[in-house]
Homo-oligomer: A and B are copies of this chain.
Amino acid sequence: MPTDTPAPAPALAEEVERLLAAGRAAALALYRSDADSRRQFVRETAALLGQRLDSLLDANLRDLHAAGELPSAMRDRLRLDAQRVAGMARDAAAIAELPEVVGAIVDRRQMPNGLVVERQRVPLGLIGIIYEARPNVTIDAAVLALRAGNAVVLRGGSEAAHTNAKLAEILRDALRLSSLPPDAVQTPRLRDRALVDALVGRAGGLDLAIPRGGTALIEAVSRAARVPVIQHYQGVCHLYVDGSADLAMAATVAVNAKAQRPGVCNAMEALLVDSAIAGRAVPVLVDALRTAGVEVRGCPRTLALVGDRAVAAADDDYGREFLELRCLCAVVDGVSGAVEHIGRYGSHHTEAIVAADLEVAETFVRSIDASCVAVNASTRFNDGGCLGLGAEIGISTTKLHAYGPMGLEALTAVRFVVRGQGQVRT
């Protein structure tokens, strides 16, 4: 039997109990709230973001100063400007317009004894969102979770502390303006790293914890958690070009999948080419990628076809999430070779095929276990907006509850409601 989580320090334990008690009460009020109040909250948030731009940018400057030397990518994620805040407000406002999910009837059937059985969407309850120094997540996550009737505890990265405090103030004021309890959005007072472990480690506390960030964050939260966690792990996404593929389409899709935004989880990390057309296809595809600035790391069969236009792939380039303008290129034997390669190196995120032969495409779809399988389309479409969810809180690689982009529906539970005329069980 594993040892239990060590008891947190008294101040931490007290803070966790306070957050959970206040959050639980707010969650109950949200559970019973009407759609109009929640919609109003989202609109008020969008409006306040505009009205409080100056003080928000001031707070952000303080964070940027305090952070000192940061890797430029991190600094860029932390930084707000008028345009970015306007974008946050616009994204929030769009969430107000999405169809209501709370109360929706998923299905209804009448049983032979006359009982009417419905399955109905209800809020999940109290959600903890643990993330890094990306202020936009504070608004995104809160607005989406609350629109679906949930209360949240937000724990963002320390580097964004001043910005997040301002954003939390906006969210709580927007709740007040909509006659909803401000404690539906809480941020811990203590900045102690151990707080996250104590919060997610309290069995029966949160209804769900969502870590949004790198692998280290996800693993730390998962390890400490005694509540359900939805993980948003890395995407090692493959694109398989079948022998039947239109080669021009394959090149366009491959370049888009890798180069349109190389640093994201749904970017292509490996191109697999059917050996039946490799002699013709590999040079064309490699050149198209190179023209887009991509360094191709080739398997031996690839190298034999393109020489020094590709770099020899190292062992750990297979199954690697490059997140930059680099990718693997490997020759495989038909769809079964592609399926085998993906089974070995894929991460259940996004897998794509380009094929004119739709029977081959269906074999691929049936054989691949991933949150999103794309036929004749870029891997980059595995995204809540592109798939019609309106917005997303992340892309789940956990199969339970949500697999793929999580929109409003994924932030609800489905319960049973039974209506009778006095029926009893015999």
Contacts and interface: CB of A to CB of B under 8 A. Distances in A.
A399 B125 contact: yes
A228 B373 CA distance: 23
Contacts of A373: 415-418
Contact of A399 (B5, B124, B343, B388): B124
Given A223-B226, A399-B207, A400-B207, A418 B372 contact: yes
Interface stretch (A93-101, A158-166, A322-330, A362-370): A362-370
Q: What's the number of copies of this chain in the assembled complex? A: 2
Nearest to A228: B400
A51 to B, nearest CB: 33
Interface string A276-292: 00000000000000000
A275 B343 CA distance: 63
A318 interface: no
Interface string A387-426: 1100000000011110111000000011111111111111
A376 B417 contact: no
B372 A425 contact: no
A2 B197 contact: yes
Q: How large is the interface on A (under 10, 10 to 19, 20 to 34, 35 or more residues)?
A: 35 or more
A372 to B, nearest CB: 4
Contacts of A399: 124-125, 207-208, 413
A366 B30 CA distance: 11
Given A31-B369, A372-B418, A380-B424, 9 more contacts: A4-B223, A125-B369, A125-B399, A246-B422, A381-B420, A382-B416, A387-B416, A387-B418, A401-B401
